C-alpha cells in the first residue's frame, strides 16, 4: 500500500492529538479530590443515566448520593422507587416519543400526543416537574413552515392537560453537525436551531411549555451560550451539560467554560435542575462525574 507524505503527516497529527488528549485526561483525573461533595448547591445537579451505562442505575445512584447530586434522569422506570427511597429525585421524565419520531411530521401527531400524556401522568405521579419532548426528524420534503405548524399544533393539543397536572413540557434542541456517534449529534433533526425552538415555544403560548437548554448542543449549533441563557431565561425549564467537542468530560480538553456558564445560570435566578449528560472517557467514570459536579458547584 502506497502512503503519501500527506497521509503520513495526517496520521502523525491524529496520533499526537490522541496522545495529548489522553495525557490531559489522565492529568485531570489524577487531580480530582476523591472526597469532594457538593457544598454550595446553587446549581441543583442531576445526572443522565444513559451516559454511564453499563453501570446499573442503582449503583450510579449511590455515587450520586455520595457526591451530593440531588437527582437522576434517563434511568429505568423500574428503579424510580428505589432511587427516591435513597433521597434522590427524578429530575426529568421521558415524553415517550423519542427524538426521531416527533411532531414535525404530521403523521406522528396522535402517537406524540398519546405518549406525552403518558409521560405527564408519570411525572405527576412521582412528583417530577418536567417531561421531555423533541421536534423529531425532518421528513422528506418537509418545509420549515409545515414542520413548525405541525409541532405547534401537536403541543397545543396537550398543553391544557399539562397545565392541569402542573407539568412542564421541555423541548430539547439538538445539534445536526456531529455525525460521529448516534448520541453526539443528530443529522436530520428538525429543531436544530435553538432560536427556532424558542419561536415554536412562544407560538404554543403556554406557561407549561419550556426550553431544554443543552449547553453542548447550543454551543455546536449557535454559540453565544451565556448571552442566550440571559435572553431566554424566562423560557428555560431544564439544562444539560457536556464538553465540546466530543460530548465528554467538563475538563480542560474542551472549549466550554462551564464555571462561567453556571454562574450565568445562577444569575438568572434559575432554581430547577442542571443534568450532567456527558459520555465519560476517563478510566474512572465516577471520578469524571465527581469532577463535573465540582466544576458546576459555583
Range of the domain at 70: 36-296
At residue 174, the pLDDT reads 98
Q: pLDDT for 101-116, tens place per residue?
A: 999 999 999 999 999 9
Up-side HSE of residue 82: CA atoms within 13 Å toward CB?
Answer: 12
Residue 5 resides in a domain: no
Q: Model-level pTM greater than 0.85?
A: yes
At residue 139, the pLDDT reads 86
At residue 24, the pLDDT reads 59
Q: Give the three cell numbers for residue 85.
A: 427511597
Residue 194 resides in a domain: yes
The list of the chain residues with pLDDT below 50 reads 1, 14, 16-20
At residue 203, the pLDDT reads 98
| CATH number of 146's domain | 3.20.20.150
Q: How far is CA 45 from CA 13, 146, 165, 234, in A?
A: 37, 37, 24, 20
Q: pLDDT for 260-278, tens place per residue?
A: 999 999 999 999 999 999 9
Taking the mean position of all CA atoms in its chain, how far away is CA 80?
19
Residue 6 resides in a domain: no
Please, where are the H alpha helices in the chain? 5-30, 57-67, 80-85, 109-126, 144-165, 194-204, 215-221, 225-231, 258-267, 285-296
Query: How many structural domains compose the chain?
Result: 1
Amino acid at each position: 500500500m502506497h502512503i503519501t507524505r500527506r497521509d503520513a503527516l495526517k496520521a502523525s497529527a491524529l496520533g499526537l492529538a490522541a496522545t495529548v488528549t489522553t495525557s490531559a485526561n489522565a492529568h485531570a483525573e489524577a487531580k480530582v479530590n476523591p472526597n469532594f461533595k457538593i457544598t454550595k448547591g446553587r446549581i441543583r445537579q442531576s445526572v443522565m443515566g444513559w451516559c454511564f451505562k453499563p453501570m446499573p442505575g442503582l449503583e450510579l445512584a449511590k455515587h450520586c448520593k455520595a457526591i451530593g447530586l440531588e437527582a437522576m434522569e434517563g434511568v429505568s422506570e423500574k428503579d424510580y422507587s428505589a432511587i427516591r427511597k435513597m433521597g434522590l429525585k427524578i429530575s426529568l421524565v421521558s415524553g415517550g416519543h423519542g427524538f426521531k419520531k416527533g411532531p414535525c411530521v404530521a403523521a406522528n401527531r396522535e402517537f406524540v400526543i398519546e405518549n406525552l400524556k403518558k409521560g405527564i401522568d408519570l411525572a405527576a405521579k412521582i412528583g417530577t416537574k418536567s417531561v421531555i419532548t423533541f421536534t423529531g426528524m425532518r421528513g422528506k420534503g418537509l418545509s420549515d413552515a409545515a414542520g413548525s405548524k405541525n409541532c405547534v399544533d401537536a403541543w397545543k393539543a396537550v398543553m391544557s392537560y399539562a397545565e392541569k397536572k402542573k407539568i412542564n413540557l421541555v423541548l430539547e434542541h439538538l445539534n445536526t453537525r456531529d455525525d460521529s456517534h448516534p448520541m453526539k449529534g443528530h443529522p436530520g433533526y428538525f429543531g436544530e436551531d435553538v432560536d427556532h425552538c424558542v419561536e415554536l415555544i412562544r407560538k404554543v403560548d403556554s406557561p407549561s411549555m419550556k426550553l431544554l437548554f443543552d449547553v453542548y448542543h447550543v454551543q455546536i449549533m449557535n454559540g453565544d451560550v451565556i448571552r442566550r441563557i440571559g435572553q431566554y431565561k424566562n423560557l428555560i425549564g431544564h439544562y444539560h451539560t457536556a464538553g465540546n467537542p466530543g460530548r465528554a468530560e467538563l475538563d480542560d480538553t474542551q472549549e466550554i467554560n462551564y464555571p462561567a456558564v453556571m454562574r450565568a445560570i445562577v444569575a438568572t435566578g434559575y432554581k430547577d435542575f442542571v443534568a450532567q449528560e456527558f459520555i465519560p472517557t476517563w478510566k474512572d467514570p465516577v471520578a469524571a462525574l465527581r469532577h463535573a459536579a465540582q466544576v458546576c458547584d459555583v
